[in-house]
Structure 1
Amino acid sequence: MKRVLFIETDLRNEKLGIMYLSAALKKRGHETLLCRYEKEDFDMLIQSFSPDLVAFSLITGAHKRSLEIARDIRKNYGIPTVAGGPHATFFSQDIPEDAVDFVVVGQGEKAIVDVVEGRARGRFLCYDFTDLNEIPFPDRSLFYRYEEFRDNPMKNVISMRDCPYSCSYCYNHSWKKMFRGQNHFMQRRSVDGVIGEIKEMRDHYMLEKVLFIDDNFLINDMWIGEFAIKYGREIGLPFLCSFRVNLLDEEKLKMLRDAGLFMVNFALESADPYVQSEILHRDNIKNEHIIRAIELFRNYDIKCRMQNMIGLPVEDSLQDALGTLEFNKTYRVDDSWVSIFQPYPNTELAEYCFKNGFLEASMKDSIAESFFDESRLKIDNKNKIKKLQKWWFFIVHYNLSDRLIDVILNIDINNAVSQSLLDLRYKFSKKYLYEIENENGSMLHYDWDDICNRFKSAPNFKLWKHIIKKYELCGALSEILLDIDISDEIAKELANVQPIKEACLIDIS
């Protein structure tokens, strides 16, 4: 028996990939443990667990910190290391030898077992794909020793690992090239296997809602039909999923709603048809599909979140963003989510940026840790785009006018305020969208006093009392929306601001 220690540096959500690796190892009789590196006494953990191997899952942007830790472990403890995940797969040759002994390219269930059992040949390990139905259920005990994951009433499940599309900002086109000819694409677990996993999870842990994290849940009509019948009959819990709305029709939606579907996540990205088709390579998606889907979701009382992307490599990036913002305000989805485009290396859109002068050679491999950070592109109004991303949800949620948007985009906010806006946005998701009341089960657990104090200490801000006094907006928001020196005309307009939906007048504090 060998011991494998998985290390995560920023653990906010349970990660099924690591759970699957742990399950594969435990099936062979090995022992595993998860370490939240920044929050645990690592020396004590090394002494008590005595790992034979330390494993990392590398995400581009956040990979640098993980590699620093891996390097220190090899130097100070002499323990071999292995790295897998997206960054290791697409940039395997860039993984430094002084930090990582073994690099896993692609699926890792077989590879990590071979590393542990001494069968690995060479530093780089790339295996044929395994039938998903042969992989054991993910080892949830790895994460559920932590209270916030164990007691979260909504837990993740995945039925399929592939996506048939090739959006220009995504690695999927590179993935297809790397593994061309393996006949693994669009593999999906059996419905019975998915149902069996959920039953096992329900028997051992708190479970009130299921989040399917497939990229596109509506793939394969026959699978969807079988799933809807069996899930509704044997599970019956509310669930949410993501899919491309051009695949949606009313019959499918009704069938899934009857089975328990209560929320859908889908992507608009940009409301400009040219940008959608020619820049993002999402030519199968039309605004008409989006509008029709929103109508269907409303008719069937299904909540919906629309994903957007700003800071794109177009002639006027701010105007593109504002046009997409207006689309969101017009069609009034339950939740409007936005990221800032990051030119991930080896994606088609990153190459486009480089060739068309949106990205300097020196910045080609400089990737932000998060797609909530600022843009790396050479575009105008970068600071306004960054601020728009922070305020986006509140602008849509309260249907703020163009005049107020202009005021907001000219307010400088510090990092503490930016983080607090993000924190509040997650609290909204937890309570209103996911209807999760249990604080211990929150997706992200916050110290609310700390969030409020960040705002109170922010320079040049006071409470935006014109809004708060009239509407007593959600208690949390009253600590967020802050005043500046505004004219009487603007103050009067602020007094008329109200949420898009009365249902949104909830206290998320």
Structure 2
Amino acid sequence: MRVLLVTEINKTLIFSGFLSFGTMYLSAILKKAGHQCEVTSVDYNEAEQVCNTFSPDIIAYSAFTGLHIPMVEINSKLKKKFKFFSMFGGPHPTFSPELIEEEGIDAICRAEGFEAVTNLVNKLERGEDITGTPNWWIKEGGKIHKNPIAHQVKCLDDLPFPDRSIFDKYPSYRKNKSFSFMTSFGCPYNCTYCFNHQLHKMLNKGDKVIRRRSVDNVIAEIKQVKEKYPLQYVLFRDEIFTLNKSWIKEFAEKYPREIGLPFYCVLRANHVKDDIVADLKKAGVYNVTFAIEAGSDFVRNTVLKRNMSKEAILKAAGILHDHEVPFFTYNMIGAPGETFDMALETWDLNVKCRSTSTWAYLVYPYPRTELHDYAVSNGYLDEEKSNKFLMTYHDKSILNLRDKR
């Protein structure tokens, strides 16, 4: 079958190497199963043009919260002009499955879609009944069929490498020198602003919170990309790159010998240890990022549940300075209950860390997160706004804050 994948594509994402892994993995898996795939950005004109030339049987949207809004609109417009089966997957339909009620949406996938999408597409191709397909909510004949979530893929090495060629039609992508890679899936922490605490509840017995590819499998993928594209800088997009000390040690031995390119990765302050940073340095790390989020102990640990002391953050910064590893910090401004003076504590802690650079974002409590429930129950988020979705967390705060200006 012909499957059109819709995902966010722009020059910034291409240049930074941050295009959707879900889209690339699905393309690889579907092609392996004998299907054809094409991609389009979240732009109606481009999507319409691709539909005219590709004639998709299925259009699959990879939807984050906020981004689902234009995707639903595009899907509605395309449905009026073309005949296709529409499916939505990704974080938003996983945690807000009522999206299936939107007109023009035929199915939504909850949780991991590697096997679920292929199963559904294969059934559609064979003309079989799809209403009982695991992970899927299917709308058919005015009824919504809600199916349980199946076990996740156990061994990530069994997955094909992400299909980056699907983006080759964009000239800037083919010329890009930075590409992203994932060596692991999952995060063991339960920060209130993140979806992980909800995802953990969805796991079946025997499923793992953290799954990691072998070092050899990761290196083989990087070699493949290095052969095809002018790769000069590697970005590892794992939520926390250094969770497994023995994996890092093996990586530090093999990566510089077989790849030898500078790389970036994300750390967590309480996992920043002297020996681990020494191994990263040995491997060729260029820079890293870790999250401070908030300087106020109340905001960081009570509201956001980071469970991390200022001392641990400052110690992590000190270790990185000792090993001369440049680092960036992530920060949140405007959390429920945060005052202006508390926000200044975030500034102060960043100054003390002496980070190479910092990023700061406005707090946006996504529906279905613990932070969202906290904001509503404590009066920081009005009920009528509680299920409204913003396209971005860069522009404005929807919270009722004492010092909001």
TM-score between both structures, scaled by the size of structure 2: 0.90
CA distance in 2, matches of 1:43, 1:178: 36
Q: Could you report, residue by residue, the CA deviation over 1:169-212 in whole angstroms, capped at 9, with x for unpaired residues?
A: 11111101122424222111111111111011111111111100
Output aligned runs, 1:98-497, within 5 Å: 98-118=103-123, 120-122=130-132, 123=138, 126-130=149-153, 131-283=155-307, 285-314=308-337, 316-383=338-405
- Compared CA separation, residues 270 and 80, structure 1 to 2 (3 A): same
- Compared CA separation, residues 376 and 180, structure 1 to 2 (3 A): farther
Q: Tell me, yes or no, if the aligned pair for 1:68 and 1:99 is still in contact at 8 Å.
A: no
Q: Tell me, yes or no, if the aligned pair for 1:240 and 1:264 is still in contact at 8 Å.
A: yes
Q: Secondary structure at the match of 2:40?
A: strand
CA distance in 1, matches of 2:41, 2:305: 38
Q: Tell me, yes or no, if the aligned pair for 1:129 and 1:182 is still in contact at 8 Å.
A: no
The structure whose residues are more often helix, as a share, is 1
CA distance in 2, matches of 1:79, 1:203: 37
1:27 is matched with which residue: 32, 38, 46? 32
- Compared CA separation, residues 180 and 272, structure 1 to 2 (3 A): farther
Q: Could you report, residue by residue, the CA deviation over 1:241-267 in whole angstroms, capped at 9, with x for unpaired residues?
A: 001121121111111111111111100
Q: Secondary structure at the match of 1:54?
A: strand
Displacement of 1:43 after TM fit?
Answer: 3.5
Q: Secondary structure at the match of 1:138?
A: coil
CA distance in 2, matches of 1:224, 1:24: 28
- Compared CA separation, residues 63 and 199, structure 1 to 2 (3 A): same
Between stretches 364-373 and 175-184, larger displacement belongs to 175-184
Displacement of 1:332 after TM fit?
Answer: 2.1
Aligned partner of 2:135 in structure 1 is none
Structure with max Cα Rg: 1
Q: Say whether residues 1:82 and 2:84 are aligned partners.
A: no
Letter paired with 2:233: K
Aligned partner of 1:7 in structure 2 is 6
CA distance in 1, matches of 2:7, 2:285: 32
2:70 is matched with which residue: 42, 54, 65? 65
The count of corresponding residues between Structure 1 and Structure 2 is 380
Letter paired with 1:350: H
Displacement of 1:40 after TM fit?
Answer: 4.8
Q: Secondary structure at the match of 1:22?
A: helix
Higher relative contact order (CA 8 A, sep 6+): 2
Q: Could you report, residue by residue, the CA deviation over 1:2-44 in whole angstroms, capped at 9, with x for unpaired residues?
A: 1111123554421111000000011112111111242854443
Displacement of 1:65 after TM fit?
Answer: 0.9
The structure whose residues are more often strand, as a share, is 2
Displacement of 1:381 after TM fit?
Answer: 3.4
CA distance in 2, matches of 1:150, 1:374: 35
Q: Could you report, residue by residue, the CA deviation over 1:458-506 in whole angstroms, capped at 9, with x for unpaired residues?
A: xxxxxxxxxxxxxxxxxxxxxxxxxxxxxxxxxxxxxxxxxxxxxxxxx
Q: Tell me, yes or no, if the aligned pair for 1:110 and 1:127 is still in contact at 8 Å.
A: no
Displacement of 1:326 after TM fit?
Answer: 2.1
Gaps of 5+ in 2: 14-18, 133-137, 139-145
Q: Secondary structure at the match of 1:306?
A: strand
Displacement of 1:157 after TM fit?
Answer: 0.2
Letter paired with 2:2: R
Q: Tell me, yes or no, if the aligned pair for 2:42 and 2:71 is still in contact at 8 Å.
A: no
CA distance in 2, matches of 1:3, 1:117: 11
State the superposition RMSD in angstroms. 1.7
